[in-house]
Amino acid sequence: MADIQKMYELWVEKAVADPDLKAELADVAGDEEGKNDRFYRDLEFGTGGLRGVIGAGTNRMNVYTVKKATQGLAEYILSGNVEKSVAIAYDSRIKSDYFARSAAEVLAANGIKVYIYKELMPTPMLSWAVRHLGCGAGIVVTASHNPAKYNGYKVYGSDGCQLTLDAANAVLSKINNIDIFSGVKSADFDSAVNDGSISYIGDDVIDAYLAKVKEQGLHTDLVAQSGLKVVYTPLNGTGNKPVRRILKEIGVKDVVVVPEQENPDGNFPTCPFPNPEIKEALQCGLNLCEKENPDLLLATDPDCDRVGIAVPDGDHYELFTGNEVGALLLEYICRERIALGTMPKDPVAVKTIVTTNITRAICKKYGVELREVLTGFKFIGEQIGFLEAEGHQERYIFGFEESYGYLAGGYVRDKDAVVASMLICEMAAFYRTKGISLIEARKRMYDEYGVYYNKLDNFTCEGASGMERMNEIMGSLRKESPKTIGGVKVLSVSDYKASTMTDAATGAVTKLTLPQSDVITYDLEDAASVIIRPSGTEPKIKVYYTTKGVDKEAAVKLQTALSADFTKILGF
Burial zone of 80 (CB within 10 Å; 0-12 exposed, 13-18 middle, 19+ buried):
middle
The C-alpha atoms of residue 546 and residue 94 are separated, in whole angstroms, by 37
For residue 393, how many other CB atoms are within 10 A of its CB?
A: 17
| 144 given a catalytic annotation | yes
DSSP state of 343: P
From 206, 213, 17, select the one nearest 119 (Cα to Cα).
206
The C-alpha atoms of residue 561 and residue 388 are separated, in whole angstroms, by 44
Question: Left (φ > 0), alpha (ψ -120 to 50) or beta: where does 268 sit?
Answer: left
The C-alpha atoms of residue 48 and residue 378 are separated, in whole angstroms, by 10
From 178, 196, 91, select the one nearest 142 (Cα to Cα).
91
The C-alpha atoms of residue 322 and residue 417 are separated, in whole angstroms, by 12
Residue 410 phi/psi, 5-degree rounding, is -105, 20
Residues in the chain: 572
- Given the residues 96, 144, 226, 403, the one annotated as active site: 144
From 366, 338, 530, select the one nearest 449 (Cα to Cα).
366
State the pairing for strand pair 254-257/229-233: parallel
> Distances from the Cα of 517 to the Cαs of 373, 495, 507, 534, in angstroms?
11, 8, 22, 10
**Are 514 and 374 within 8 A, CB to CB?**
yes
Residues with Cβ within 8 Å of residue 354, at least 6 apart in sequence: 375, 401, 402, 531, 533, 544
**Are 389 and 410 within 8 A, CB to CB?**
no
Residues with Cβ within 8 Å of residue 166, at least 6 apart in sequence: none
- Burial state string for 503-528 with b = 16 or more CB within 10 A and e = fewer than 16: ebeeeeeeebeeeebebbbbbbeeeb
Q: How many CA atoms lie within 13 A of 541 on its CB side?
A: 23
Q: Which residues are catalytically annotated?
A: 144
